[in-house]
Amino acid sequence: MKILVTGATGLVGTAVQRVSKSLFPEYNMTFISSKDCDLLDLERTTSTFKTHSPDCVLHLAADVGGLYKNMNQKVQMYENNLIMNYNVIKSCYHNNIKQLVGMLSTCIFPDDIEYPIDETKLTLGPPHASNDAYAYAKRMFKVQCDAYNDQYNTNYNCVIPANIYGINDNYDLNDAHVIPALIHKGYLARDQGDIFEVLGTGEPLRQFIYSDDLAEIILRLLPTLNQDSVIITNPQEYKIKEAATYIAEAFEIEARLKFQPTASDGQYRKQASVDHMLKLLNTDIFQFTSLKDGIDRTVKHFIDNYPNLRI
């Protein structure tokens, strides 16, 4: 199976590179980043897909960020993701590529909803205001995939992760997701003897999936994915304060942990069900990396590779 992967240099892209080499040698994988092809350029994207002519495009590339990037850069998050996704779908169809797998996120589901979230609930209401621009761009990806599947009988679908973390993340102090942002802050606090500031109350709940676990599940499901989408995450929920405490312990700065309760908490909860994922995996358990182990591994990689990371 010849698979072309966009977003190769990213958190998930590098995890797919590692995991495919070790666990899925039978897959013929090609990885591209924006240096190989700017997905905002339709002509370039169509010609790149024609050159590789894969059986499947695994579309990981996106303009991605945490709560604060989503609140402060709504225009960029909407336009870049809408255009990239539009170009990828058009280029797949133009080149008669049989399968496309794209990435949504559990944060794009309605905020006011009965938990757990499942794949049928995506359009039951508006997403949380903190990331509505990004969320609607992602929802439009699914609308366009469904339209092609309906009209041209294509096999374009989406996987829907919760919050992902792991090595090679984006650690930008303002734009990153919570775990990489706090790992960067923890590193600086330890070295500069500063307080370790966690924004918000620490009370919101999140499901976190380690990047290599996500990559393994996507690669295991890839050959059987059909037109409906599937939520993929470690189902365990953690308070932000629990994740922050694991990070403080990894840097041995527990005494310096301080919350900034006046800062935004963002969405309080987005608990999603993994029933469909387990059914597709044909199992009732998957051995996920624990949040503590995943954070310890990511902190060690950060310390060993600082500053040659996306900081």
Q: Which of 151, 177, 155, 152 is nearest to 166 (CA)?
A: 177
Q: Which does 39 bind (CB under 5 to 8 A by kind): ligand GFB, ligand NAP, none?
A: ligand NAP
* Residue numbers at the binding site for ligand GFB (CB under 6 A): 66-68, 70, 105, 107, 130-131, 134, 163, 176-178, 181-182, 198-200, 204, 206, 240, 263-267
Partner whose footprint covers residue 204, from ligand NAP, ligand GFB, none (CB < 5 to 8 Å by kind): ligand GFB
Q: How far is the CB of 194 from ligand NAP (least distance, A)?
A: 26
Q: Return the number of the residue (55 or 197) whose C-beta is nearest ligand GFB.
A: 197
Name the residue nearer to ligand NAP (CB basis): 138 or 253: 138
For ligand NAP, what does the binding mask look like between residues 243 and 282, x meaning CB under 6 A? ----------------------------------------
Catalytic residue list contains 152: no
Among 134, 164, 130, which Cα is nearest to 10's? 164
CA dihedral sign of residues 21, 25, 27, 29: positive
Characterize the bridge pairing of strands 230-232 and 155-161. Answer: parallel
Of these, 17, 34, 149, 201, which contacts ligand NAP (CB under 6 A)? 34
Give the one entry of ligand NAP, ligand GFB, none that residue 10 binds, where binding means its C-beta sits below a cut-off of 5 to 8 angstroms depending on kind: ligand NAP
Contact set for ligand NAP, span 282-301 (CB under 6 A): none
Buried b (16+ CB within 10 A) or exposed e, 137-153: bbbebbebbbebbeeee
DSSP notation for 25-76 = TTSEEEEE-TTT--TT-HHHHHHHHHHH--SEEEE-------HHHHHH-HHH
Which one of 134, 136, 187, 246 is the catalytic residue? Answer: 134
Contacts of 113 (CB under 8 A, 6+ apart): 121, 124, 125
Looking at beta carbons only, is 40 or 280 nearer to ligand NAP? 40
Query: Which residue from 3, 4, 5, 13 is in contact with ligand NAP, where contact means CB under 6 A?
Result: 13
Q: Which candidate, 128, 118, 136, 71, places its Cα nearest to that of 267?
A: 128
Q: The tokens of 187 are what?
A: 């590193």
Using CB under 6 A as the binding rule, whether residue 217 contacts ligand NAP is answered as no
Helix (H, G, I), strand (E, B) or coil at 156: strand
Q: Point out which residues bind ligand NAP (CB under 6 A).
A: 6-13, 33-35, 38-40, 60-64, 84, 103, 105, 161, 163-164, 170, 177
Residues with catalytic roles: 134
